[in-house]
Amino acid sequence: MSYEALNISALRLNDANPRILKEKRFTQLVQSLIDFPEMMRLRPTVVDEDGVVLGGNMRTRAKQHLLSLPEGEKEHRIERAVAARNIPEGDSAAAQDYTNELRLLLFGEEVPVVRALGLTPELKQQFIIKDNTSFGEWDFDMLANGDWPNAAILEGWGMDIPPGWGDDDAAPSDSPAGSLAERFIVPPFSVLDTRQGYWQERKNVWKERIGDNGESRNGTLRRSASGDDPSYYRQKSKAEKQLGRELTKEEFEADHYKRTTKLAQGVSLLDPVLAELVVRWFGLEGGAAFDCFAGDSVFGFVAAASGMSFTGIELRQEQADLNQSRTDSEELPARYICDDGRNVGEHLALESQDLLFSCPPYFDLEVYSDKANDASNQGTYAEFLAILRDALTSSVGCLKENRFAVITVGDVREKKSSGYYGFPADITAIMRAAGLHYYNELILVEMAGNAAIRAGQQMKHRKPVKTHQQVLVFYKGDPRAIKTHFPEIEYDAEDLESFAVDTPGESE
Ligand SMILES: C[S@@+](CC[C@H](N)C(=O)[O-])C[C@H]1O[C@@H](n2cnc3c(N)ncnc32)[C@H](O)[C@@H]1O
């Protein structure tokens, strides 16, 4: 028997090893190597004289997988692993040592091995079976009542947890104390009430920090309404179709001015508290978030300020530039790319992202530009939906396995019939066709604003004023394994203070 370091290319996976690992377990194994890379040294891979792996076949596969990751992703995983190690703040030498250790053990070409020399074929077989067999049993009472981590963590360490065991550790001994609102910032119910005091206070903090008032969308159409512009005539005929008659140049420009002035005054901005919840509930600290219809600065800014890097694709250059300048001014890890969201796959590698969050245009409810590929500027709902289908399907391809995609939508009424198009259902169908599970529907209740004034008029048509949007949550992967991929949600005292948490209902 001899200990040595072998280049991974010299190891030969043992095809005759009958031990297999399903995808979920493989992902857990990869994570377990990242969490505790020292295991590679403490339990070296066992090889025979020809470099055939007798013990550690799956670990070798996991290491090959880690080596195949893009360089940026490797660095990213190292950063996350260092952050997860609880190295005392300021101990940069310890952080650097651990970073080097991770580089070597996870992403270095060498593998610590122990060579088993002189085993007969029969002894090699015995070794493979015995190495993977456990004679003992777990004392689950001791695990539940002793000083052991909860079931989710043990499962993440590779333990087989009996069905039902650990389900009742809703308040495990190591969970942060406090109300639901304290632990999750807003109560984790399917109705998110933006009218509450805790929500509005938090929103104001973000708004002040981000400083986005939707100004880059003001009058975009108005500026480009000119006979030199090829889209001028398309806009004009669209307006004529809507009004049901031909328009003179002057009439069109006046109508255009009116429409775009309204647009300038009324642009909707994503709620930053919603953005923060999406990052904290469905994102991963240290991971990569993206949006194929980025729009304003809110999501990118909040994601990048909350521990995720961010990539936003936005069709309008001025919006992308403005967003970039805002995140750059705080040196946040966000980048904005001016392009059609359908080209997202040209900017992001397949299965490289940890969270998709998007608030796409709601058909032509707000028209953002007169660009031919602006989803909000299509002649028909079907054309609009086709753009969303392509962009979202490509986006799903960029999302890693076992990650969330969150799409905020509000239904839109057909002009002629006044009936809904069924936009949320169409988005759900698109995401499911792309292979995702439809996992949660959250209702975002909004401030009523002038709803009371509009209600009288609308109720003549039996149309209660809409004061909500839907936040549709999808999952790529097996939702039953979510708790092995996502850590428990905890908040520190600073979070709670800045959120000025109060219990729901108290602050209306
Ligand atoms: C609803 S906004 C984005 C949502 C944002 N959170 C907001 O409330 O402003 C939609 C954005 O999609 C952009 N957009 C429209 N068509 C696009 C396309 N084909 N590719 C990328 N972005 C597009 C528009 O310019 C607009 O900024």
CA of 293 to the centre of ligand 1 (A): 4
Query: Which protein residues are within 6 Å of ligand 1, measured from CB?
Result: 268-270, 293, 295-296, 298, 313-316, 319, 340-341, 359-361, 368-369, 373-376, 387
Ligand 1 nearest-atom number relative to CA 298: 6
CB 488 within 8 A of CB 183: no
How many whole angstroms separate alpha carbon 397 and alpha carbon 476?
Answer: 10
96-129 pLDDT, tens digit per residue, is 999 999 999 999 999 999 999 999 999 998 988 8
Helix (H, G, I), strand (E, B) or coil at 382: helix
For ligand 1, atom 11: residue with the closest CA? 295
Q: Whose CA is nearest to atom 17 of ligand 1?
A: 374
Distance separating alpha carbons of residues 472 and 443, to the nearest angstrom = 9
Domain that holds residue 455: 187-216+268-499
Ligand 1 pocket test target in 212, 270, 314 with most atoms within 8 Å of CB: 314
- Residue 240 and residue 335 in one domain: no
- Measure CA of the first residue to CA of the last residue in the chain; give whole Å: 72
Does residue 333 sit within a domain? yes
Same domain, 260 and 284: no
Number of domains making up the chain: 3
Q: In the chain, which residues have pLDDT < 70? A: 19-24, 152, 163-185, 212-235, 239, 242-243, 250-268, 448-453, 490-508
Identify which of 220, 268, 368 to mutate to test ligand 1's pocket (most ligand atoms within 8 A of the CB).
368
Q: DSSP letter for 175, please.
A: S
Looking at ligand 1, which residue's alpha carbon is closest to its atom 3? Answer: 295
Sole residue written with tokens 């590929």 = 373
Q: 441: which strand partners? A: 472
The vertex-416 CA angle with 412 and 420, nearest 5°, equals: 30
Q: Name the residue at shortest CA distance from atom 5 of ligand 1.
A: 295
- 224 Cα–ligand 1 center, Å: 18
Q: Give the pLDDT confidence score for residue 248 in this predicted structure.
A: 73
For residues 464 and 458, the answer to whether their CB atoms sit within 8 Å is yes
Indicate if 197 and 335 belong to the same structural domain. Answer: yes
Task: Tell whether 180 is covered by a domain.
Answer: no
pLDDT digits (tens, 9 = 90+) for 383-441: 999 999 999 999 999 999 999 999 999 999 998 899 999 999 999 999 999 999 999 99
> Both 246 and 330 in a single domain?
no
Check residue 333 and give its pLDDT.
96
Based on the domain organization, do 316 and 257 belong to the same domain? no
Q: What is the CA radius of gyration of the chain?
A: 27
Torsion of the alpha carbons at 44, 47, 48 and 53, rounded to the nearest 10: 150
Distance 431 CA to ligand 1 centre (A): 18
User: Is 257 found in the same domain as 132?
Assistant: no
Q: Which two tokens stand for residue 173?
A: 């001994």
The pLDDT of residue 508: 29
Look at residue 493 in the predicted model and tell me its pLDDT: 58
Q: What share of the chain is helix, strand, coil (3-state, %, to 5)?
A: 45, 15, 40
Ligand 1 center from residue 117 Cα (angstroms): 63
| 334-338 β-sheet, strand order | 191-193, 437-445, 468-476, 399-409, 353-358, 288-291, 309-314, 334-338
Backbone angles phi, psi at 329, to 5 degrees: -65, -20
Domain contains 181: no
Strand ranges in 13-148 using DSSP code E only, listed in sequence order: 45-47, 53-55, 110-115
Q: Relative to the CA of 369, which ligand 1 atom is closest? A: 25
Q: Where are the beta strands (DSSP E) in 340-452?
A: 353-358, 399-409, 437-445
Are 385 and 337 a contacting pair, CB within 8 Å?
Answer: no
Identify the CA nearest to 484 among candidates 63, 107, 161.
161
- In our burial notation (b when 16+ CB lie closer than 10 A, e otherwise), range 70-108 reads eeebbebbbebbbeeeebeeeeeeebeebbebbebbbbb
Ligand 1 mutation pick, 215, 315, 365, 388, max ligand atoms within 8 A of CB: 315
Q: What pLDDT shows up at residue 180? A: 54
Out of 246, 264, 282, pick the residue that ends a domain. Answer: 264
252 contacts: CB under 8 Å, gap ≥ 6: 225, 235, 236, 239, 240
One domain, residues 242 and 302: no
| Nearest atom within ligand 1 for CA of residue 375 | 16
Helix, strand, or coil (residue 496) = helix
Same domain, 332 and 387: yes
Specify the pLDDT at position 163. Answer: 64
Give the pLDDT score at 504: 41
Domain assignment of residue 191, yes or no:
yes
